Structure 1
Amino acid sequence: MGEVVATIKLMPESPEVDLAQLKETVEQSIPEGTELHKIEEEPIAFGLVALNVMVVVDDGEGGTENAEEAFNQIDDVASVEVLDVRRLM
């Protein structure tokens, strides 16, 4: 077993969502055993901006499931999608 870095895209409910507040909520909802690496904004269209959250997790059972479930619980998040998973050397 080792560690992997995963990029998880969080799509806000609407362009009116306060991204600063959403980032703070994401930081507070990081589950145990998951380390937040960084959060990047990705413009989508018509003022909608997604958050690409990079986390470091153990590649054992479950992998990114805990982080995905935690992010799905956030009120202003419409969808959660794992974009990329890479092993750390």
Structure 2
Amino acid sequence: MTSVLITGASRGIGRAIATELAARGHRVVATARRPEDLDDLPVDRRLRLDVTDQKSVDEALRDSGEIDVLVSNAGATIRAPLENVPVSEVEALFQLNT
């Protein structure tokens, strides 16, 4: 059985991947900034993880056990003309998405 850690599993593609992999018998560790959003997922572990916070990353890795596969799915977008977006928001988005 493969152990898979999925970031951004609270909704969308990450949630669908977590559900499908768990149904196929994999050990799934689902993560999200708000772990309560994962309560109804049929997965092995549900952990808090903010990929922009190193302490959060370290804690999630410690608590997840051995992992074979990482699905790096956490991300966000900004929907606005670039000239209207503060540089600090662009930097935060870059940190989250990369």
Shorter-chain TM band: 0.3 to 0.5
Bigger helix fraction: 2
Tell me: higher relative CO, structure 1 or 2? Use CA pairs within 8 A at least 6 residues apart.
1
> Taking structure 2 as the reference length, what is the TM-score of the superposition?
0.31
Larger radius of gyration: 2
Structure showing the higher strand proportion among its residues = 1
TM-score (norm 1): 0.33
